[in-house]
Amino acid sequence: MLARALVLCCAVCASAALRVLLVFPLPGASHAILAEGFVTHLIRAGHQVTIITPIPSKNPSPNLRQVDVSANFQVSPLADVIQLEKIMTKEIDLTDLDFVKSMMNQIANATLSNPNVKRLMEDPRERFDVVIAEWLYTELYAGFASVFDCPLIWSSSMDPHAMVLWLIDEAPNPAYVADHLSDVHPPFDFWQRAKELWTVLRWMKLEWSARSVEDAIYNAGYGPAAAKRGLALAPLSVVKYNASLMLGNSHVSIGQPMRLPGNYKQILGYHVADKVQPLPVNLQKIMDEAKHGVIYFSMGSMLKSKTFPDVLKKELLQMFSGLKQTVLWKFEETPRKLPKNVHVVKWAPQQDILAHPNCVLFITHGGLLSLTETIHFGVPIIGIPMYGDQFLNTNRAVRKGFGKKVDLDWDFAKNLKAAIEEILGNPSYKEKVKEVPHLRSPALHVPFYQKMYVDLAAVVVLAFLAVVKTINFALKFWNRGGVKEKQR
Ligand SMILES: *[C@@H]1O[C@H](CO)[C@@H](O)[C@H](O)[C@H]1NC(C)=O
Ligand SMILES: *[C@@H]1O[C@H](CO)[C@@H](O)[C@H](O)[C@H]1NC(C)=O
C-alpha cells in the first residue's frame, strides 16, 4: 500500500516537474539577467532546467544544468562593438537592423557550431518537454524545438512589435501602433502613418533577404542532430511560426497600449527580485549619509564606461563636483582625482540602490530592464539612449512625464547638468513615475479609412495618374513638335 502510494507520488511529481531547455546564448549581461529570471522562477516551481548561456553561474542550483557558450563572446564581441566614441562619431549604427540581424545570425551560427551545444543536441538520451528561446532579430533558435521534438515558447525582450507578433499572430496595424524603433506616438499624422507602414514593409524585406543565410545556418546547425535522432527536420520557414506561446518582457505601464493575441503573455518585471537585498556596507553608508539625495549613474552593462572619451570624463566629473547631491557612478575604472561627492563603483546592485529612499535620480541608457526597475521603485530618470529600443523607451519616459532625454554629443556635460537641475527642481517627475499607466487604445481615435490606408492608396493612385497624364502630355507635345517639323 505504502509502496503504491510512493510510486503514485513519484509519478505525480515526475509529471509536474518539466525538463525545460532555455536558449539564451546572446553575449550580453542584460540578456543574461532576463535568462536568470526564467531560471529562478522555473527552479522555484520545481522544474529541471538546462540553459544554453554565455555567462554560466558559478554555483548553480542542483536542478540547473548549464551549457557553456562563452565562446560567443569571441565570435561576436558585442562589448567591442558598443564603443561610445564609435557611436558618437556615427562610425557604427546600432539602429541599422541589417547589421544587427546579421550579427545575431552569426551568434546563432556560433551557438549551433559550439561543441557543447552539438553534444547536447546529438545525444539521443537528451529529452526536453519544452524549449524557451529568446528572440532577438533571428528565429534560428526555433530549431531546438524541432530537434527535441517538443513545444516551443518564444521569449521576447522588448515591447511587442511586428517582427515578433507575426510569428504568433499578425503584425499590429501600423496606422496606430508605433514600431519598436520608431520615435512617434499615436495619433499619427498622414506621413507618420505612411512611414510606419513603410517600416513594417522594410522588416518584411529584412526577413526575406536574410532567408538564404538563415536556411544555411539552420540546416547545417540542426540537420546532423535531427538525423541522429531519426527525425525529419521541418524547414525553418515552418518551425519559426510554430511556437505555442510568447512571453514578452513588456507591459502597458512602460510601453504602448495595444491589442495582443491570447498567446502573447506580458511578464514585464519578472527579473525584479521579490525582496530588496541589504546594500554592501560601504554603499549603505554613502546612501544613508547623502543629505541631498543620491544620483545613480549607470550606462548599463553593454557599454563600458572606460570607452568614454577622456574629455567627456573630465567635464562630467567637474560638473558633478558642482552638485550638492551625492553621485554614485557605475564605472569600470576609478578616475585619479575624484570630487568629494562622487563615488565610483565597479559593480552596483542596481535594484537595491534604486530601492533606497535617498535615491532621487537615475541617469541611464534607457534600457528596458533599467526602466522597469525605475518604475518599480519610483525613481525619475535622465535617459541617454544609444541604440535599439533605448530611444523609444526614453522618449516614452519623457512623454509620460517622469524623465528627460539628453543626447550623447560634445555638449553632453552641460546639457546633463541642465536636465539634472530641471528634474530635481520640479516635483512633478517624481510624482509621475509613481502614477503611470494609461490603458486607452489608440485605435479609438483612428477612423476606419485611415486604418485601411484608403487615403494613402488614393494618394498613390492620384500620383500615378498624374505621372501618366504628364507623360502623355509631354509625348503629345513632342509629337506635335515632330509633326510641325515635318510640315515645314
Ligand atoms: C557557420 O559556422 C561554420 C563553422 O564556424 C562556418 O563554417 C559556416 O560558414 C558558418 N555559416 C555561415 C552562413 O556563416
Ligand atoms: C509544431 O508544434 C507542435 C506542438 O508542439 C508539434 O506537435 C508539431 O510537431 C510541430 N510542427 C513542426 C512542423 O515542427
pLDDT band at 487 (very low <50, low <70, confident <90, very high): low
- Which of 242, 244, 245, 246 best tests ligand 2's pocket when mutated (most atoms within 8 Å of CB)? 242
Q: Are 95 and 390 a contacting pair, CB within 8 Å?
A: no
Vertex 96: Cα angle to 92 and 102 (nearest 5)? 95
Buried b / exposed e along 377-404 (16+ C-beta atoms within 10 A): bbbbbbbbbbbbbbbbbbbbbbebebbb
Give residue 109 CA to ligand 1 midpoint distance, Å: 6
Q: Are 130 and 153 a contacting pair, CB within 8 Å?
A: yes
Residue with the three cell numbers 551560427: 109
Give residue 151 CA to ligand 2 midpoint distance, Å: 6
Encode pLDDT of 200-253 as tens digits: 999 999 999 999 999 999 999 999 999 999 999 999 999 999 999 999 999 988
Atom of ligand 1 nearest to the CA of 221: 1
Residues 6+ apart with CB under 8 A from 433: 374, 375, 378, 379, 380, 381, 402, 403
Ligand nearest the Cα of residue 226 is 2
Q: For residue 242, what pLDDT is reported?
A: 98
Encode pLDDT of 431-480 as tens digits: 888 876 778 899 999 999 999 999 999 999 999 999 999 999 999 988 87
Q: Taking Cα atoms as reference points, which of 122, 120, 132, 26 lies closest to residue 70?
A: 26
Query: How remote is the C-alpha of 463 from its chain's centroid?
Result: 39
296 has which bridge partners?
328, 362
Report the topology of domain 8-266.
Rossmann fold (3.40.50)
Atom of ligand 2 nearest to the CA of 149: 9
DSSP output for 49-102:
EEEEESS--SS--TTEEEEE-TTHHHHS-HHHH--HHHHHTTSS-TT-HHHHHH
Segment (H or E) for 163: helix 162-168
Was domain 281-432 assigned CATH 3.40.50.2000?
A: yes
Mean pLDDT for the stretch of residues 336-353 = 92
Q: Do domains 8-266 and 281-432 have the same CATH topology?
A: yes
Encode pLDDT of 379-433 as tens digits: 999 999 887 778 888 998 998 899 999 998 889 999 999 999 999 999 999 888 8
Give residue 132 CA to ligand 2 midpoint distance, Å: 14
Give residue 134 CA to ligand 1 midpoint distance, Å: 21
Q: For residue 83, what pLDDT is reported?
A: 55
Q: Taking Cα atoms as reference points, which of 354, 384, 369, 373 lies closest to residue 294?
A: 354
Residues 6+ apart with CB under 8 A from 303: 82, 83, 84, 365, 386
Name the amino acid, one letter, at 234: A
134 has which bridge partners?
155
Q: For residue 336, what pLDDT is reported?
A: 82
Give residue 68 CA to ligand 1 midpoint distance, Å: 19
Q: For residue 90, what pLDDT is reported?
A: 59
The binding-site residues of ligand 2, defined as CB within 6 angstroms of any ligand atom, are 146, 151, 234, 238-239, 242, 244
Atom of ligand 2 nearest to the CA of 145: 14
Residue 349, sorted as left (phi over 0), alpha (psi -120 to 50) or beta, turns out to be beta
Q: Where are the domains of the chain?
A: 8-266, 281-432, 449-481
Tell me the three state secondary structure of residue 392.
Answer: helix
Give residue 245 CA to ligand 2 midpoint distance, Å: 12
Residues 6+ apart with CB under 8 A from 201: none
Atom of ligand 2 nearest to the CA of 242: 1
Q: What is the CA radius of gyration of the chain?
A: 27
Name the amino acid, one letter, at 110: A
**More confident site: 473 or 300:** 473
Q: For residue 12, what pLDDT is reported?
A: 46
Mean pLDDT for the stretch of residues 301-322 = 83
Torsion of CA 252, 254, 255, 258, to 10 degrees: 10
The model carries a pTM of 0.85
The arrangement of strands across the sheet holding 130-135 comes to: 64-68, 48-53, 19-23, 130-135, 152-156, 245-248, 264-266
Give residue 242 CA to ligand 2 midpoint distance, Å: 6
Q: For residue 200, what pLDDT is reported?
A: 97
Ligand nearest the Cα of residue 232 is 2
